[in-house]
Amino acid sequence: MQIIKDKNIVDDTWQHINDDEIIPAGEVTLSLARWQQEKHALIHHAGQLGVRLAPADDVAVLAGDVKRLALIELEFADFADGRAFSQAWLLRERLDYSGELRATGCYMPDQAFYLARVGVNSFQPEKFADLPVMLAKLNEFSVHYQRSVH
């Protein structure tokens, strides 16, 4: 599968592991609950680690973990639920998270510009066909009024 990362269309090299699956070697993402349960055991994991956040998850619980994480996914259940925008901002600004921050799930290409401004740098659109549209929409506005993430 392909995604947008840093304004390029690239292959998604990550494996997204369900809570009942065995964690294989390599680049894997886990749910927040599983991460919290198993993060100590994963110290010797061969490969990079990532966490998937739901809209209601409190990002502050990752404060001590962000250095270990190479990917955090913000999963939209509903495009109208804007909590992911604040989660992204908090991860970048409050937790100084510097790894890949990816939007996934149910959201619109029209929201990609805002997501990029709060620190999301990778995008998995709902439909593969939306990739070029979403890429174009990252440059939809050439100006803005507010300071956002550094």
- Residue 7 within binding range of other proteins, rule CB under 8 A: no
Adjacent-strand bridge partners of 22: none
Reference 76, options 65, 68, 87; nearest CA is 87
Q: Is 115 in the site for other proteins (CB under 8 A)?
A: yes
List of E strands, the chain = 2-5, 8-11, 15-16, 28-31, 49-53, 69-76, 100-105, 122-123
Query: What is the Cβ-side half-sphere exposure of residue 73, based on CA atoms within 13 angstroms?
Result: 26
Choosing from 103, 117, 122, 123, the residue that interacts with other proteins (CB under 8 A) is: 117
Can you tell me whether residue 115 is helix, strand or coil? Answer: helix
69 to 88, contacts with other proteins by CB under 8 A? Answer: 79-83, 85-87
Asked whether position 67 contacts other proteins by CB under 8 A, the answer is: no
Binding status of residue 5 toward other proteins by CB under 8 A: no
Tell me the closest approach of the beta carbon of residue 59 to other proteins, in angstroms. Answer: 9
Among 40, 44, 127, 147, binds other proteins (CB under 8 A): 147
CA gap 121, 96 in Å, rounded: 14
The reply to whether 140 sits near other proteins by the rule CB under 8 A is: yes
**Site residues (CB under 8 A) for other proteins?**
79-83, 85-87, 89, 93-94, 108, 110-111, 113-115, 117-118, 140-148
